Structure 1
Amino acid sequence: MKHPVQTYWKLFSSTFLLSTFTFGGGYVIVPLMKKRFVDDLGWLEEQEMLDLTAIAQSAPGPIAVNASILVGYRVAGAPGAALTILGTVLPPFLILSAVSLFYEAFRSNRIVAALLRGMQAGVAAVICSVVVDMAGSVLKEKKVLSDFLMAAVFLVTLLLPKLNVIWIILACAGLGVAAALWGARRNREAGKK
């Protein structure tokens, strides 16, 4: 399905600007993507963005690039995904290329070091905001299993910080599959009555 040129341009320009002016990685860019593509443009539903974020986080690679691919593909298919990849990857590539030319000057500059330390506080605040927003979305659904898993994973990561995250993902996936199969079985039995 072909989309208007404006759609492609908005996908590219939105991800390019978000990637250019976002510091702190994928967990910082995701809420900004939600604001742009869900709140401002209305191209995605909030639940859809939450699902895409979960998939992007579970897939190998940087979450910002994964989320961009998924959003671009969802909005405009393969061309949209290609443009969002380009829009997301191009700014860091250009910035890091420029920084590498002046690495020695940046490394020893106290002002740059202080600026980067200050940015860490801002990044931490944005990540906390993402956690609160995503947790609020999960709690609004009022699904007992989702609420339980969210609380359990939070506690497990606090109590067992050295536990490999793959075990948490596999356990949650297993519980999700079991719950889906059990729900499908209950629906089939209810349909027979």
Structure 2
Amino acid sequence: MSLWSFFLAIFKISSITFGGGYSIIPVIREEFVVKRQLLDDEEMYDLIALGQAAPGPVAVSTALLTGYKLKGRTGAILGVLAAILPPLIIISAIFFAYEAFAANFWVQTVLRGMSGAISAIMIFAVYDLARVCLREHRIFSFSLMVLAFAVGYLTSINNGLLILALGLAGILAFSFIPEEKIP
């Protein structure tokens, strides 16, 4: 894959995914794991996990890490540019046309319809991530997932702190307990 085709792939993905960083996950997986076979599922989900842990938008971090993995520093820079240009262009266009279309019935209807599709995409992304995470150490991984959901849902703890705390829990568990004893 050339740098240009990598840039275009991320640009296209960023152009068609709406609803935040998590909506990019199944689309970027489809492009680089299924279609182009440049990464395997485990590599892709490692990049996504790192992208979630990094500060800033998940989509940009994941594009940066994917670019770095596939094309080095230049790929990382192009990944970031390709991820931020479409939203920047779209938001700029919306800014200039907002007052004319904000109260339009059809615009509101389209946005409501998109929110349902975005929810479905996010559910699929969670399912896909869980499937990969639960390949090994099912009980331990499932317990961490339930704990993360419960803490995130029931408290106002910052998601970054939650990810950091559970990452440390994973490090502790896998560092001090022999692998065959982890459920």
Is TM-score (shorter-chain normalized) higher than 0.5?
Answer: yes
State the alpha-carbon separation in 1 of the partners of residues 59 and 14 from structure 2: 8
Name the residue aligned to 1:132: 127
Q: Residues 22 and 170 from structure 1, CA distance in 2 versus in 1: closer, same or farther, beyond 3 angstroms?
A: closer
Give CA deviations for 1:74-105 in whole Å, capped at 9, x if unaligned. Answer: 00001111111111111111111111111111
Q: 1:41 aligns with which of 33, 36, 49?
A: 36
- Residue ranges of structure 2 left out of the alignment (5+ in a row): none
- In the alignment, does 2:27 pair up with 1:32? yes
Name the residue aligned to 1:176: 170
Structure-2-length-normalised TM-score? 0.90
Q: Residues 135 and 94 from structure 1, CA distance in 2 versus in 1: closer, same or farther, beyond 3 angstroms?
A: same
Give CA deviations for 1:13-47 in whole Å, capped at 9, x if unaligned. Answer: 10111111111111111110011001111111101
Name the residue aligned to 1:14: 9
1:154: Cα distance to partner?
2.2
1:167: Cα distance to partner?
4.0
User: How large is the Cα RMSD of the aligned pairs?
Assistant: 1.7
State the alpha-carbon separation in 2 of the partners of residues 74 and 82 from structure 1: 12
Q: Percent identity?
A: 39
State the alpha-carbon separation in 2 of the partners of residues 69 and 63 from structure 1: 10
Name the residue aligned to 2:77: 82
Dislocated runs of 4+, deviation >3 Å: none
1:141: Cα distance to partner?
2.2
In structure 2, give the amino acid aligned to 1:76.
Answer: K
Give CA deviations for 1:89-126 in whole Å, capped at 9, x if unaligned. Answer: 11111111111111111212111011101100000000
Corresponding pairs, count: 179
State the alpha-carbon separation in 1 of the partners of residues 34 and 5 from structure 2: 14
The question of whether the paired residues in 1 share the 8 Å contact of 2:53 and 2:160 is answered with no
In structure 1, give the amino acid aligned to 2:10.
Answer: T
Q: Which moved more, 1:163-172 or 1:73-82?
A: 163-172
State the alpha-carbon separation in 2 of the partners of residues 181 and 23 from structure 1: 39
Structure-1-length-normalised TM-score? 0.86
